[in-house]
Amino acid sequence: MIRIAVGGIVHETNTFAAHPTTLDDFRADGLYAGAELEALRETNTVIGGILAAAGHDPEIELLLTTAGSAIPGGTVATDAFEHIVGQICSGIEAQTVDAVVLDLHGALVVEDFPGGDGEVARRVRAIVGPSVPIVAVFDLHGNIDDVLTAAVDVILPYNTYPHIDNAERGEEAVRIASAMVRGECHPVSRAVHISASPPSPNQFSGMEPTLTLQNRARHWEAQPGVINAGIFFSFPYGDVAHNGMAVVSTTENDPALAERICADLGQAIIDAHLGFWPDLMSVEGAVHAAMEEPEGPVVLADFGDNPGGGTTSDGTAMLWALIDLGAQGAALAVMCDPAVVEAAFAAGIGAMIKTEIGGKVDDFHGAPIPITATVRNLTDGAFTYEGPMNTGVRDTLGRTAVLAVQGRYGAEVLVVCSERRVQALDTAIFRSQGIEPTDCKILVVKSGVHFRGAFMPIAKRVIVVDSPGILQLDVSAFPFRHLTRPLWPHDKVTPTMRPMAHR
């Protein structure tokens, strides 16, 4: 039998978020130990793919340790990191393992470890020694460091944004790890860091320059002797010295080829970097444009307040514009405001409430809005992802109220108001609350790109909005202190690349 240890910690850390990420945040989002990981079987997750791959190979035995994620947010508390990673490491230490497969992110920042993912890999390598294969899967929004690249044999970033290839990458990781144990694969990996940290809207897989860059990577992967070629697009809102894009490549025992792939893709990124800067509409302009469309739904992406990047999900700019302009047939998700939810539950379905909503966590996401609203629905917030991302995964908004908020000119805006921050990346979030998205003229989603997987098939038009928040385009609004400069777009320079450490 081939004994493969499995574990992971996944977090995209926005170091400008107001509150730290705690162990309770991981537990709320999904923290699994041992056999509990079986709950992710047949889901489009990395762990789901790992389980599926092992099920197809009778010679593989998975040693399930601990794996979990928390919704993107503030710097991870050291005690949370030590608890989860401690369980991963103790689970590996307690077994005789032939290989390790890790589910990581790449943008994990911990109070005591700016490079959290590298610290996980370093600890695992110290346990298993130099000869046991370690294969790790990552979100493509990682800021990877040299500690990580020196500790891991094969690095597999997602290829798609929205991330719909999670399970595929998990399966690939198991195939590579088992082939290494069998002596059928002798990987050599190289990586380069690129001094660019672009905003995410034009990183959509169907948009340039990302489309051409990913096609170029897939072309390399189709060549003889190439195991993997991947691109990290960085996470701009992590204030760490290693912030920036990266290219990774793994070949069959051919370091020169791996270096050539990294140089080629790296130069292609440098040549195309200006294409990552998006042309976004203002809040008012976007709502006007949506109102003028003859048919809906028109999907407005609240880019600056996307909780998938660590924001508060209580930004008020989009809601204020809908109310003030009298938008008809509009619905918004998800506004996180536990106090308003409490008031709605106290009042009951059908009641009218007057309160202030949103803008209560920090100064980046607008001021609270006074509203008059009718409580349309009250639920426990449970739903299951139905679209191409996170398919089959159960989640919850926490207690949730649907409010019909009064706007100008007799209009109403339906607001999905929740206790938890959850990115509105799936139409199931609306449907689970009794709102059919295809019946709406305007849909506002607090998301940046991930919503495209589920909403583009129903949208008459998609508009990404330059809204305020801690994901706003203007990075000069944030007090960065640790970046390695120059770094585009903080500095108006052409990016450069440097080789990273390797095994």
Q: How far apart are CA 145 and CA 155, in angstroms?
A: 12
Grouping H, G, I as helix, E, B as strand and the rest as coil, residue 369 is: strand
Query: What was the pLDDT predicted at 289?
Result: 98
Query: What digits encode the pLDDT tens for the residues 26-42?
Result: 999 999 999 999 999 99
366 within 8 A of 337, measured Cβ to Cβ: no
pLDDT of residue 254: 98
Q: Mean pLDDT of all residues in the chain?
A: 97
Listed in sequence order, the DSSP H helices in 382-476 are 428-431, 452-455
Count of CB atoms within 10 A of residue 208's CB?
Answer: 12
Q: What's the whole-model pTM score?
A: 0.95
Question: What's the pLDDT at 24?
Answer: 97
Q: What is the pLDDT of residue 219?
A: 98
User: Residue 398: its pLDDT value, please?
Assistant: 97
Residue type, 158: Y
What type of residue is 408?
R
User: Which has the closest alpha carbon to 139: 222, 76, 216, 203?
Assistant: 203
Q: What is the dihedral of CA 240, 244, 250, 253, to 10 degrees?
A: -70
347: phi then psi, degrees, rounded to nearest 5: -80, -40
d(CA 117, CA 53): 24
Strand-by-strand arrangement of the 134-138 sheet = 31-33, 60-69, 2-10, 99-103, 134-138, 154-157
What's the pLDDT at 261?
A: 98
Which residues of the chain fall short of a pLDDT of 50? none
